[in-house]
Structure 1
Amino acid sequence: MKVFRELSWFLKQERKRYIIAFTAMIVTTFCSLMPPKIIGLVIDHITNKTLTPRLLVMYLLIIFGLGIAVYLLRFISRMQLFGASAKLGRILRERLYAKYTLMSPSFYQKYRTGDLMAHATNDIRAVQSSAGIGVMTIGDALITGGMTLAMMAITVSPKLTLIAILPLPILVMATNYYGRLLHKTFKEAQASFSEMNDKTQESIAGIKVIKSFGYEVDDEEDFRKLSDDVVSKNMRVAKIDALFDPTIQLVLGSSYLLSMIFGAMMIMNGELTIGALVTFTTYLSMLVWPLLALGFFFNIVQRGHASYDRIRQIEQVENDIQESSDTGEKPSGNITFDIQAFQFPKDSTPRLHDIKFTLVPGMTIGIVGSTGSGKSLLLRLLLREFDTAQPSDIQYGDKPIRDYALDQLRAQFGYVPQEHFLFSSTIRGNIAFSQPDVTDDVLYRASQLSHIHRDIMALPDGYDTVVGERGVSLSGGQKQRISIARALMTDPEVLILDDALSAVDAETEAAILHNLKQTRQGKTNMITAHRMSAVMHADMILVMRDGTIIERGTHDVLLDQGGWYAETFHAQAMQARLREDLTQQVERGEHDGKTF
């Protein structure tokens, strides 16, 4: 019953529905208890030879009317209960979705997508069942069972009723024990399903990699093991579930046996009529459903309790990124980084240290360095995907970025991440994601700036082309340029390109950078790259290694210094010349088959 205490907020909110449902159930049960009494009276009339046709028709009409009433009342009670459970499912889904959208990246490093999907589907369905069919079941069990026992005691024999219910305490103890076992095993089964769900999602998303490495058989074997584990744990749930009905039938059979033995003795002693015993056994048969419902109820409630525990566990996870109470001020001014050290919560080694620089409005800054040097992490800190140790480590204008509302802060940035995500929609829908009602002129302008307009128009359906899940139908370069167009739609104060030109050729890269320079006068740009050509025109270039800045300056200054930047630039320039020479040789037919 713990799940109902935890759901008391919803039961109070929907108390009108539940009051109507329970009132209808009480009247339904009362109407259902009348026919056995009428049947007993008819039998006694037959025994006493006092039954007349008129009396028989009257009894039949009463039974027919009671049947119609039961039909209508059960419809009303189920509509109210199932409507309430559907509303609970909607509330829980909305709460979970809101939770998912507000959480920081560290949350998604801990909880996998498949697990989160299982919470939003299977777990919510289990909780819904508790609030709907679970409430209906226990309501039927208590009302029907209670009123049936009352009718047996009041209208037939309290002595025989007491004898009949002697085995019931055994049922209570047994179902309570089964319920505790079911709660534990169902929770384990749901966790196992989450693992299989995550594996399925991951394998489908990475199907190209799996096929390219010929890993299909091994992947199928991994899935089979997870699937077998799900079946094994659900079989344990089924075994416990299967204990309910036999236990109930055993208890009920014991009640029948006691009732028949002692009932026959009472008839012989003149304490009971045959019609009264028939009525009593009919009432006793009506206890079958309440007792079965009791076992069914424990099954549903324990599943719902286990699932609600899993949902509450997610809801109680605190967000690493705390929202500021100041929601009015729009960020503006210089962006200043002064990070002494930054490390992730469970890391012992700082990922960034001694980072100091200032980004003036209208400035373009390039950030380069080898893989793992901290370039992307620097940008993610600015976007508050993670928070630094000290609030003043990053300031926008004269305030720490933590003092701005997240929506206000992030609205200043147009961010193109390394991993380009496209929605399973049209190209138009992906580019106009932040402004669905934008005009075609504005849409085309953003696409032209990112050098993707011609590619789109060459497609059969143009901007209405459906890109498929994660943009599977497009090349890497096309996805990058669509992502850039999406960021440009808002004309952000700060455009952040996190290695966003890596999949395009040098000519396209130059065209995009030229367009940005021409159209973003007075706006700030931050560009991280592995190719020096992407940042050589920046107002300031930062060279990072092992989480800190080892060189800084303009392109010419860094070349004069002769450090990492100069060496990398010359090496990449030489590679570009070799590729160009090779292309010319191929065009002249002079290539001898060697590769460079």
Structure 2
Amino acid sequence: MKVFLQLSWFFKQEKKAYITGIVLLLMVAFLQLVPPKIIGIVVDEIDQGTLAAGKLLLWIGLLVGAGLSMYVLRYYWRIMIFGSAVKLARQLRKQLFDHFTNMSQSFYQRKRTGDLMAHATNDLQAIQQTAGSGVLTLVDSLATGGFVMIAMAATISWKLTLIALIPMPLMAILTSWYGNLLHRRFHKAQEAFSALNDKTQESISGIKVLKTFGQEKEEIEDFRRQSDDVVKKNISVAKIDSLFDPTISIVVGISFFLSIVFGARYVLNEEITIGELISFTTYLGLLIWPMLAFGWLFNIVERGRASYDRVSRLLAEKTEVLEQKDALDLIPSGKIGFQIATFIYPGEKEPVLQDVHFSLKQGETLGIVGKTGAGKTTLLKLLIREFDLKNGKVTFGGRAITEYKIKKLREAIGYVPQDHFLFSATIRENIAFTNPLIDEEKIFKAAKIANIHDDILEFTDGYDTIVGERGVSLSGGQKQRISIARALLLQPEVLILDDSLSAVDAKTEEEILHALKHEREGKTTIITAHRLSAIHHANLIVVLDEGKILERGTHEELMEMDGWYKEMYVRQQLEELVEQGGSLYGK
């Protein structure tokens, strides 16, 4: 029953509803005692020949009254208790979603999407069951069982009641044992479901890749194995679950046997009447539900405890990017500076960046180039505080970026990442993501700067075209340009293009860069690229190699150095010339 203590914070929060529901449950439990007693009285009066028509109508009226009262009371306790359980699920779901949005990048490197989805669905459903059906079965089994045993002992025979309850300790021992087994097995079943959930999400998202490489059969087989594992683990749960009812039925059967054997002797010895024996066995029948409910209770609470443990562990994870209590509530602007001694990703040993020191004035353009894995994207992630520096600092407007509220810092930055994520909505909604009510002309303007406006108009539904999940219906270049338009709509102090022009041709790239230079005069732009033509106009170009600055300067200065930059630039120019049909030796 530990889970009820864990949920005590919620029971206190909804105490009015739960107290009302429990009181109504107790009233129902008490009213359930009326029919068996009336039946016993009527049987005795029939046996004695004293039952008159008026009395019979009175007893029938009492039975009808008790039945109608229980009907109304049961309706309202369900609203109170089950309604509160739905509120718990809603509250935990919101906590989880808030938690997900506040966690840093490293959290999502450790966690699988399918697992997080399982926490927000299956686990919350099990917790809701505990706060609803779990509370019901606990209160109802104790109240009904308690009232019935008191009625049996006080109004009929305490000796016969004790005899009937002899098998009960056996039931308590066995159900407790089953509950512990159920907890362990259900925990494993939930983990298996999380893995299957993750596999499904991953397979559907990567369906194009699967089909391209012809891996459908292998993927189906892998899914079948994981699905079989889920079934196997849930069957192991069901095997324990299925022990509750037979165990309780055997215990109840033994109780009935003892009650009838010894009850018949008491009737013959005139210690109780035949009507009282009938009332006693009817009361004993009422005990079947509390016993079954008690077994069901173990099932519910152990599932709920396993799920609540999983959700609690997830919510207990702390973000590695923390906001200062006295953080500045203003959007930063001005000069940007990087003073990085070393940066190591959480859980790693080798530094990704070392001895990186440079600054960028407001309104300038920074180009960052280098081999794959040189640290280009890492540098940008430090600026937007996806990770925090421990050995160095990044400044913005003369202050460390940690001095600003995270929300305000990110409002100053329009970030277009390498992995362009589009929502399953219209193109218009994707571009206007940060401000759905923004003027349509501003959406068009941003699209024109990103060189995507004409492409959009060619679609059948124009800006109302549904792009599909993650922009599946668009080409790579179209997704990139829509992402750029979305960032431009913010009119940010700093625009970051993280290799965001790689999927467009050289002519389109040049048009976009020319438009950006014109529209963003006086604002800072940071571009990372493999194609050097994207950054040759930058005020400062930084060449990274294995996390260190290999070269720095303007395009002209770097060309004079005869280093990595010049070698790559000349090679790319030659490649472009060949692609356009030129010759390495002249025309």
TM-score scaled to structure 1, two decimals? 0.97
Query: Given that residues 341 and 354 in structure 2 are in contact (C-alpha distance below 8 angstroms), is that contact kept between their aligned partners in structure 1?
Result: yes
Matches within 5 A, 1:321-360: 321-325=321-325, 326-360=327-361
Question: Equivalents in 1 of 2:435, 2:34: separation in Å?
Answer: 65
Deviation, 1:332, is 2.5
2:362 is the alignment partner of 1:375: no
Matches within 5 A, 1:51-450: 51-325=51-325, 326-390=327-391, 392-450=392-450
CA offsets per residue over residues 224-272 of structure 1, 9 Å max, x none?
1110110111011000001101111111111111111111111111101
Question: Equivalents in 2 of 1:462, 1:379: separation in Å?
Answer: 33
Question: Equivalents in 1 of 2:328, 2:569: separation in Å?
Answer: 44
Query: Given that residues 127 and 305 in structure 2 are in contact (C-alpha distance below 8 angstroms), is that contact kept between their aligned partners in structure 1?
Result: yes
2:17 is the alignment partner of 1:17: yes
CA offsets per residue over residues 317-362 of structure 1, 9 Å max, x none?
0111111221424323211111111111222211110101001101
Query: Given that residues 337 and 357 in structure 1 are in contact (C-alpha distance below 8 angstroms), is that contact kept between their aligned partners in structure 2?
Result: yes
Question: Equivalents in 2 of 1:20, 1:329: separation in Å?
Answer: 48
For structure 1, list consecutive stretches of 5 or more residues without a partner in the other structure.
584-596
CA offsets per residue over residues 562-596 of structure 1, 9 Å max, x none?
1111111111111111111179xxxxxxxxxxxxx
Question: Equivalents in 2 of 1:147, 1:371: separation in Å?
Answer: 74
The 3-state SS of whatever aligns with 2:497 is strand
Matches within 5 A, 1:561-580: 561-580=561-580
Query: Given that residues 432 and 489 in structure 2 are in contact (C-alpha distance below 8 angstroms), is that contact kept between their aligned partners in structure 1?
Result: yes
Give the partner amino acid of 1:310.
R
Give the partner amino acid of 2:372.
T
Deviation, 1:202, is 0.2
CA offsets per residue over residues 536-572 of structure 1, 9 Å max, x none?
0011111111111101111111111111111111111
Question: Equivalents in 1 of 2:323, 2:44: separation in Å?
Answer: 77
Question: Equivalents in 2 of 1:497, 1:163: separation in Å?
Answer: 81
Give the partner amino acid of 2:374.
S
Moved more, 168-177 or 392-401: 392-401
The 3-state SS of whatever aligns with 2:85 is helix
Deviation, 1:73, is 0.5
Give the partner amino acid of 1:274.
I
Question: Equivalents in 2 of 1:561, 1:23: separation in Å?
Answer: 85
For structure 2, list consecutive stretches of 5 or more residues without a partner in the other structure.
none
| Partner residue, 2:552 | 552
Query: Given that residues 192 and 229 in structure 1 are in contact (C-alpha distance below 8 angstroms), is that contact kept between their aligned partners in structure 2?
Result: yes
Give the partner amino acid of 1:40.
G
- May I ask how many residue pairs the two structures share in their alignment? 582
The 3-state SS of whatever aligns with 2:528 is strand
Give the partner amino acid of 2:131.
A
Question: Equivalents in 2 of 1:526, 1:207: separation in Å?
Answer: 34
CA offsets per residue over residues 136-188 of structure 1, 9 Å max, x none?
11111111111001110111111111111111111111111111111111011
Report the RMSD for the aligned CA atoms in angstroms.
Answer: 1.0
| Partner residue, 2:42 | 42
Give the partner amino acid of 2:62.
I
Deviation, 1:513, is 0.2
The 3-state SS of whatever aligns with 2:415 is strand
Deviation, 1:534, is 0.1
Give the partner amino acid of 2:121.
T
Query: Given that residues 324 and 406 in structure 1 are in contact (C-alpha distance below 8 angstroms), is that contact kept between their aligned partners in structure 2?
Result: no
Query: Given that residues 24 and 73 in structure 2 are in contact (C-alpha distance below 8 angstroms), is that contact kept between their aligned partners in structure 1?
Result: yes
Give the partner amino acid of 2:370.
G
| Partner residue, 1:581 | 581
CA offsets per residue over residues 68-108 of structure 1, 9 Å max, x none?
11100000111111100000000000000000000011001
TM-score scaled to structure 2, two decimals? 0.98
| Partner residue, 1:589 | none
Question: Equivalents in 1 of 2:346, 2:456: separation in Å?
Answer: 44
The 3-state SS of whatever aligns with 2:581 is helix
| Partner residue, 2:497 | 497
Query: Given that residues 130 and 300 in structure 1 are in contact (C-alpha distance below 8 angstroms), is that contact kept between their aligned partners in structure 2?
Result: yes
Deviation, 1:521, is 0.7
Give the partner amino acid of 1:65.
G
Give the partner amino acid of 1:304.
G
Query: Given that residues 179 and 299 in structure 1 are in contact (C-alpha distance below 8 angstroms), is that contact kept between their aligned partners in structure 2?
Result: yes
The 3-state SS of whatever aligns with 1:393 is strand
Deviation, 1:435, is 1.1
CA offsets per residue over residues 122-143 of structure 1, 9 Å max, x none?
0000000000011111111111
Question: Equivalents in 2 of 1:408, 1:4: separation in Å?
Answer: 41
CA offsets per residue over residues 247-303 of structure 1, 9 Å max, x none?
111111111111111111111111011111000000001100000000011100100
Deviation, 1:61, is 1.2
The 3-state SS of whatever aligns with 1:581 is coil
Query: Given that residues 331 and 411 in structure 2 are in contact (C-alpha distance below 8 angstroms), is that contact kept between their aligned partners in structure 1?
Result: no
CA offsets per residue over residues 373-430 of structure 1, 9 Å max, x none?
111110011111011113x521112321111110011111000000000001100000
| Partner residue, 1:466 | 466
Query: Given that residues 106 and 346 in structure 2 are in contact (C-alpha distance below 8 angstroms), is that contact kept between their aligned partners in structure 1?
Result: no
| Partner residue, 1:4 | 4
Moved more, 544-553 or 478-487: 544-553
Question: Equivalents in 2 of 1:160, 1:10: separation in Å?
Answer: 42
Question: Equivalents in 2 of 1:262, 1:120: separation in Å?
Answer: 54
Give the partner amino acid of 2:452.
I
Give the partner amino acid of 1:174.
L
| Partner residue, 1:591 | none
Give the partner amino acid of 2:409.
L
Question: Equivalents in 1 of 2:301, 2:281: separation in Å?
Answer: 30
Identity percentage over the alignment? Answer: 53
CA offsets per residue over residues 518-540 of structure 1, 9 Å max, x none?
11111000000000100000111
Question: Equivalents in 2 of 1:351, 1:23: separation in Å?
Answer: 63
Question: Equivalents in 1 of 2:148, 2:532: separation in Å?
Answer: 85
Question: Equivalents in 1 of 2:109, 2:580: separation in Å?
Answer: 43
Question: Equivalents in 1 of 2:576, 2:302: separation in Å?
Answer: 66
Deviation, 1:118, is 0.1
